[in-house]
Amino acid sequence: MKRPGVDKKHFIFYFYPVRKIHTIKEKLSDKDSPEGKKLRSNFRTILEKVGIAAITTFIVYFSVVYNNLGRLIFPSWLEWMELGLEFIFLLILFWLHRQFSKLINSPRLSHLNHFLKIAIEMIIVIVSAIILHFLINILPLSFLFSWDEFNPVRLRTSFLVQIIVALFFYFFVERERSRRKLEAEKLNSARLQKENFQAQLESLKQQVNPHFLFNSLNVLGSLVYSDQDKAVDFIRKLSDLYRSYLDHGAEMLISLKKEMEVCGAYTYLLETRFGKAVNFSFNVPEDKLKLQIPPGCVQMLIENAVKHNGSTPSRPLRVEILVKDDKLLVRNDLNPRKESITSTKTGLQNIINRYHYLTDEEVKIEKSESEFVVKLPLLKVEDYENSDH
């Protein structure tokens, strides 16, 4: 029964923002989640900008008052309104400076001369400060006073002060922030490149080593006599595997489709070698194949599963690759080998490090008595390009 006086639309408009606020609070309270970290970082940035704008507003106001009157006075209601307008002016100015900095440092303008860039920046900052000051600080007051009541000298002084403030915050604050961010990105890029080289080296150690090649040739040798058609398929898969190392080894990200093709070739070789002692299953929806992943991650996890777990035809090692909530899960049974195998754990740590330099999303590892699961975030290209890393 509908309650009298309660409009369903109004109830929805009330419930939705309440629910959104509750969701944001949950994300903020979850210190370990990437969303929580990003929200806290954005919240700190906003508070920092608001604080700087508030302090600067009072400094500019009292400086102008003291310069004009020779003494400090407590603001009246009109001055409080001017303070509020100045505060809004600075907040918008800071946001514009961030956009100007992104534009100047974008690849589209990378060909410009350094001094030409500085000249363009000065012109943009000065013109934007003049226009913004007129729209935010001057125009609203024109509704309270006639233009004849404006003091020309004080008006020119206010424009000059705002231009100086804009130039100061752009060249000494925003550019310094951009410089630090660029240095951090270069450092992250260098670290990611190092991790990528380590991943390639680890892949070569695991796959292009004499043991792997020797075992593969042994399997191939037996197939040539027992099943020539299967031997041809084996050679083709082995060729596909090594070609993938050459084609994608130096890339930071590849599509999930390409990674699954490589894993398909690799698991075929393992199934041919171990027979019914291993069992691999893939459950990857078609619409997820365009998502991105660091190359070789899944193959490395499969290699680790086979390397560290024993298996027999009666008790095969099961490895499952599936997608859940935009994460690729690599799950395998736990049946540690009886013989001791030295593990450097560099492969798994390398995967974690590579994701750290590419995104805020983290690699999750879950281990129980019966299974071992690694959850790899699936990335979108636009998310990676817009990342702060």
Same domain flag for 214 and 281: yes
Quote the CA–CA distance of 196 and 246 in Å, as a whole number.
14
Cα 221 to Cα 380: distance, rounded to the nearest angstrom:
43
- How confident is the model at residue 207, as a pLDDT? 45
Point out the domain boundary residue: 188, 216, 235. 188
- Are both 159 and 237 inside the same structural domain? no
At 363 the pLDDT is: 92
What local confidence, expressed as pLDDT, does residue 331 receive?
95
Q: Torsion over CA of 299, 300, 302 and 303, rounded to 10 degrees?
A: 120
Q: Average pLDDT in the 208-228 region?
A: 67
**Of residues 268 and 332, more confidently modeled:** 332
- Residue at 122: amino acid letter: M
pLDDT for the residue numbered 288 = 92
pLDDT, residue 308, reads: 87
The span from the CA of 202 to the CA of 206, in Å, is 6
- Condensed to tens digits (0 to 9), the pLDDT of residues 19-49 reads 555 565 555 555 555 555 656 666 676 677 6
User: What's the mean pLDDT when you consider all of the chain?
Assistant: 75
Are 134 and 250 found together in one domain?
no
The pLDDT assigned to 34 comes to 55
Let me know whether 223 and 289 are in one domain.
yes
pLDDT tens by residue, 88-111? 888 888 888 888 888 877 777 777
Span 44-91, pLDDT tens digits? 766 776 777 677 776 766 666 666 666 556 666 666 777 788 888 888
Please indicate, yes or no, whether residues 213 and 179 belong to a single structural domain of this protein: no
Which of 153, 188, 223 represents a domain boundary (last residue)? 188
pLDDT of residue 283: 93
Residue 201 lies in a domain: no
In terms of DSSP bridges, do strands 317-324 and 371-377 run parallel, antiparallel, or are they unpaired? unpaired
User: Within a domain: residue 255?
Assistant: yes
Q: Are residues 57 and 111 in the same domain?
A: yes
Rounded Cα gap, residues 249 and 263, in angstroms: 14
14 and 146 part of one domain: yes
Task: Indicate the SS3 state at residue 146.
Answer: coil
Number of domains comprising the chain: 2
265 and 167 fall within a common domain: no
Contact yes or no for 203/299 (Cβ under 8 A): yes
pLDDT score of 213 more than 60: yes
Asked whether residue 118 falls in the same domain as residue 180, the answer is: yes
Q: Is residue 311 part of a domain?
A: yes
13 occurs within a structural domain: yes
Which domain range does residue 65 map to? Answer: 8-188
User: Is residue 293 a part of any domain in this protein?
Assistant: yes
For residue 249, give the DSSP letter. Answer: T
CATH number at residue 242: 3.30.565.10
Note whether 222 and 273 are same-domain residues: yes
> Which residues have a Cβ under 8 Å from the Cβ of 169 and sit 6 or more positions away?
56, 93, 94, 97
Q: What is the pLDDT of residue 212?
A: 61
Q: State the pLDDT at residue 246.
A: 66
In this predicted structure, what is the pLDDT of residue 42? 62
pTM, two decimal places: 0.50
Q: Is residue 195 part of a domain?
A: no
Are 242 and 360 contained in the same domain?
yes
pLDDT-derived band at 205 (thresholds 50, 70, 90) equals very low
**Same domain for 293 and 170?**
no
Confidence of residue 18 (pLDDT cuts 50, 70, 90): low
In a domain, 199, yes or no: no
State which amino acid sits at residue 36. G
Average pLDDT over every residue of 277-300: 90
- Which of 126, 160, 188 is the last residue in one of the domains? 188
